[in-house]
Structure 1
Amino acid sequence: MKHLLALRDAHWEGWQRLLGHPFLRRLAAGEVSERGVYAWMAHNYRFVEGLLEFQAHLVPRAPRAHRLVLAHGLVGIVEDLDWMAVQPIDLDVPAHPAHERYLAFLRLLEQEPYTVEIVSLWMIYRAFHDAWSSAAPQGGLFVDLVEHWAAPEFQAYLHDLAEVAEEAWLVASEEERARIHALIEEILRLEWGGWDMANALAERYS
């Protein structure tokens, strides 16, 4: 996946800024309360539901060789939602404006060519993975949370998704590649907004 990593590195300044978000630093330092984490998770549940819808839209548009990978991803998202649903979170919480903007972005992304969609999807997953990995607390109250989003199954899916996204990048037109670069900047802004939301909740429940 060398081309995808080169693509990420082309936006490294924004990527590195994201990894240094105040909420992620607070989480790594153990300065986020249990109530703050679960409040964030409740809002994140709504976003993951939207990600499920977006990825379900991708499956019939994907090349046949890519569909099994995406189908496995759908199963993983459903399992993720089921896991979150049994946590002590409020499933009726309305979507936060930060996530409303992200969900609107996903709906617009559905209008892009498949090559643009699948590479953008990998970027969304990779941005979360890198951010979470940089800040996940080691043990303590959130050990189950850490283990859930660092599970081998998630790592395997991220690897498989990278392979199909790499294939898509290699056949993408120059126009599509330019569009992907523009969308990465938007993804980084939306990810930052999501962590801003988490930080506000951490302060409310500190």
Structure 2
Amino acid sequence: MGLLEVLEDRYAEALEALKSLPIRWDRERFAFWLRQDYPFVEALYRYQAGLLLEAPQAHRAPLVQALMATVEELDWLLAQGADPGAQVHPVRREYIGLLEEMGGLAYPYRLVFFYFLNRLFLEAWNAHVEGEGPWQELAQHWAAPEFQALLFDLEVMARGALEGLDQEVVAHYLRRILEMERKTWSLLL
């Protein structure tokens, strides 16, 4: 059973609530959401850099690819008008705090949570993003075969790390990640 299936099995209700939020897409709301994404992606970059520092050799290439994708996303967000010095929305500050807290965990936990952060975001993205709009460039990025291959590599690595972990700790943080994803997507309500 894949990690996504485990997630869907254990957290089906929370995942469905995330995917069924009544998002209202318009250019202004999307631009605000993107600007608020910058501080989170910057924190995610630091989280990934910490992962890479402790990664075993076999994990380094996919983690470097993920880190480069994050650097490119930060550049893209800046090109969209994100201001690194702008005030950070409380929801984003809370999610950044969760990333920093998880950054203190052992490498295998951080790897598993990094996979789930990406997977949950994409599950919500695929459920909510449709049609033409300013989000089209991002939609193409997330659907690109290279990114899908990277996500597959992360899942394989996370699956290997999951077995020896305390499942109560995993469940605790997965619930919190799901809650933060719900709050983040709720900025578009």
Tell me, in whole angstroms, the C-alpha distance in 1 between the residues paired with 2:134 and 2:55: 40
Structure-to-structure mapping, 1:99-118, within 5 angstroms: 99-118=92-111
* Unmatched runs of 5 consecutive residues or more in structure 1: 27-31, 200-206
Are the equivalent residues in 1 in contact too, given 2:27–2:133 (CA < 8 A)? no
Quote the residue 1:75 is aligned against.
68
Name the SS of the counterpart of 2:131 in structure 1. coil
Are the equivalent residues in 2 in contact too, given 1:116–1:177 (CA < 8 A)? no
Name the SS of the counterpart of 1:153 in structure 2. helix
Quote the residue 1:166 is aligned against.
159
Structure-to-structure mapping, 1:1-206, within 5 angstroms: 2-9=1-8, 10-23=10-23, 26=24, 32-170=25-163, 172-173=164-165, 176-199=166-189
Count of residues in correspondence between the two structures: 188
Q: Which of the two has higher C-alpha Rg?
A: 1
Tell me, in whole angstroms, the C-alpha distance in 1 between the residues paired with 2:88 and 2:133: 28
Per-residue CA shift, 1:107-148, capped at 9, x if unaligned? Answer: 110121222111111111011000001111222443223223
* Unmatched runs of 5 consecutive residues or more in structure 2: none
Quote the residue 1:203 is aligned against.
none
Are the equivalent residues in 2 in contact too, given 1:54–1:107 (CA < 8 A)? yes
Aligned alpha-carbon RMSD (Å): 1.6
Instruction: Look up the equivalent residue of 1:44 and give its one-letter code.
Output: D
Are the equivalent residues in 2 in contact too, given 1:138–1:146 (CA < 8 A)? no
Change (3 A) 1:6 1:147: closer
Percent of aligned pairs with the same amino acid: 31
Tell me, in whole angstroms, the C-alpha distance in 2 between the residues paired with 1:44 and 1:140: 18
TM-score by length of 2: 0.92
